[in-house]
Amino acid sequence: MNNQENKQTGITGWIDKRLPVFTFINHNLRDYPTPKNLNYFWNFGSLAGITLVIMIVTGILLAMQYTANTDIAFDSVERIMRDVNNGWLLRYIHMNGASMFFIIVYIHIFRGLYYGSYKYPREILWMLGVVILLLMMATAFMGYVLPWGQMSFWGATVITNLFSAFPVIGDYIVTFLWGGFSVDNPTLSRFFVLHYLLPFAIVGVVALHLVALHQFGSNNPTGLDVKSSGDTIPFHPYYTVKDYFGLGVFLIIYAALVFFAPNFLGHPDNYIPANPLQTPAHIVPEWYFLPFYAILRAVPDKLTGVLLMFAAVLVLFLLPWLDKHKVRSATFRPFYKQFYWLFFINAIVLGWVGAMPAEGVYVLIARIASVYYFSFFLIIMPLLSRFEKVGELPSSISAAVLSKKFDKDTNESYAK
């Protein structure tokens, strides 16, 4: 259907002529041509968007009841849990939603990493995604401070103190962040303001992310470009229904967590009110920061540790230029595929040592894993882009889909 020719009549037609919202929806959510071979890993983009909306809605409702003051922040959260109608439900949805959001986004990123979604012409799309990740991390960190429990307070203290590692200006930065000489009321109140503000910044970047996505359309498991209309299907109904099904599965997992294990991913110490005079035995960040926390602690020098921790995320910005191999999808790259899975396991190992005390063998494991983390991006990727040989690729998405089907039917490769 040609979108320029607006066939709508009546009131929708009248509106659409003056403000083309219906054309826009039609163009981007209905007819939008999408590769026909997307697998379930392509569900995670829309899932992330839905989770963002859930977080914003529950967050706004919670903010109506929460008080950002060190004297009553903890009690105001308990009031939400006990006396506000369905307050416990809102809070548990919001609290676990943060974890679900990170699970989804990490899978989304690993998807992009496997299928080469960051390569030409989607470099800016990818970089906008990294910006979203950074904003999410800042938002999540500040949100965890708001209940003003022991982990809130000590997590905030440890993380803000990292900035003191910078020579000369370090202490000024820390004082500036705190709004005083320790983590106290000004810190809590600014964290609350920023925690409320940043999600809307995320919405803005997500909008740009989608504009950039729709410029060239989705990548796909073969990594091949769309060559003809035979390679694509309209977004609606095919991917809308597939996304709905994925959403159902996601909500089952999410609801199981919210209703039956709401504190499973949290830390018991955060139900103890913040006490600046008593340090918890182990200060651990939320699980989604653990790999980066492990990199931080793997380095004996504080400043280097801090820089490497930030570099671990920032290196993602350079990905399109570190991996210049012509083939996008790891499916056709025998060596990249193996290093990729090693990287994946390595990331889990980093998360695991991040939760362990920084002593003995754990430090050694963290160091080896950190070295591999950076080597994967800075050494392996550039080398593979020069030397990795690949076999013949399918001629098009359709051909790849057909040969797969043929494989299934006759157990014999069509490509052979």
Partner 1 sequence: MKVMQSKLHIIVLLLTILFPLSVFSAGDKVDLMEQKWPFNGIFGRFDNTALQRGFKVYREVCAACHGIRHVSYRDLKDIGFSSDEIKSIAGEYEIKDGPNDEGEMFQREALPSDKFVGPYENDNVARVANNGAYPPDLSLIVKARAGGADYLYSLLNGYKEYPEDYEASEGMYYNTFYPGNQIAMPSPIEDDIVEYDDGTEATHTQIAKDVTAFLAWTAEPELEERKSLGVKTLFFLALITIMLLGVKRKVWKDLD
- Contacts with partner 1, residue ranges (CB under 8 A): 36, 39, 75, 78, 81-82, 88-89, 92, 103, 107, 233, 237-238, 241-242, 244-245, 248-249, 251-252, 255-256, 258-260, 262-265, 268-269, 271-272, 281, 287, 290, 344, 348, 351-352, 355-356, 404, 407-408
Cα–Cα distance, 144 to 98 (Å, whole number): 10
Retrieve residue 256's tokens: 């199981």
> What is the identity of the amino acid at 42?
W
| For partner 1, the closer CB: 162 or 349 | 349
Residue in 16, 231, 269, 286 annotated catalytic: 286
Beta 232-234 vs 33-35: how paired, if at all? antiparallel
286 catalytic? Reply is yes
Of the pair 169, 252, the CB lying nearest partner 1 is at 252
Whole-angstrom distance, CA of residue 193 vs CA of residue 142: 9
Q: How far is the CB of 357 from partner 1 (least distance, A)?
A: 9
> Would you report the helix, strand and coil content of the chain in percent, each value rounded to 5?
70, 0, 25
The radius of gyration of the chain from alpha carbons, rounded to an integer in Å, stands at: 24
Q: Which helix (DSSP H) or strand (DSSP E) does residue 234 occupy?
A: strand 232-234
**Is 5 assigned a catalytic role?**
no
Marked catalytic residue, from 231, 243, 269, 323: 243
Q: For partner 1, which is the closer residue by CB, 160 or 346? A: 346
94 and 61 in contact (C-beta within 8 Å)?
Answer: no
Question: What SS3 class is residue 84?
Answer: coil
Is 242 an annotated catalytic residue?
Answer: yes
Q: Of 12 and 263, which has the nearer Cβ to partner 1? A: 263
Least Å from the CB of residue 242 to partner 1:
6
**Residue of 404, 392, 396 lying closest to 230 (CA atoms):** 396
CB of 225 to partner 1, least distance (A): 20
In whole angstroms, the minimum distance from the beta carbon of 101 to partner 1 comes to 13
- For residue 402, what is the enclosing H or E element? helix 397-410
Omega before 237 within 30 of 0, i.e. cis: yes
- For residue 339, the minimal CB distance to partner 1 (Å) is 16
Two tokens at 11? 């009131």
**Three-state DSSP class for residue 99:** helix
**Distance of closest approach, residue 404 Cβ to partner 1, in angstroms:** 7
How many CB atoms lie under 10 A from the CB of residue 126? 21
Write down the catalytic residue from 214, 227, 282, 405. Answer: 214
Residue closer to partner 1 (CB basis): 147 or 305 = 147
Token pair 């803005």 is found at 204
Kindly report the number of other CB atoms within 10 A of residue 206's CB atom. Answer: 19
Among residues 242, 302, 337, 404, the one annotated as catalytic is 242
**Token match 């091949």: residue?**
224
CB of 276 to partner 1, least distance (A): 13
Is 405 designated active site?
A: no
In the complex with partner 1, which residue's Cβ is closer, 106 or 163?
106
C-alpha closest to that of 163 among 303, 319, 311, 337? 303
Cβ proximity to partner 1, 75 vs 171, nearer residue: 75
Least gap, CB of 126 to partner 1 (angstroms): 22
Helices (DSSP H) in 83-122: which residue ranges? 87-115
For helices 73-82 and 87-115, angle between their N-to-C axes, nearest 10 degrees = 100
* Angstrom distance (rounded) from CA 22 to CA 25: 5
Q: Which residues are catalytic?
A: 214, 218, 242-243, 286
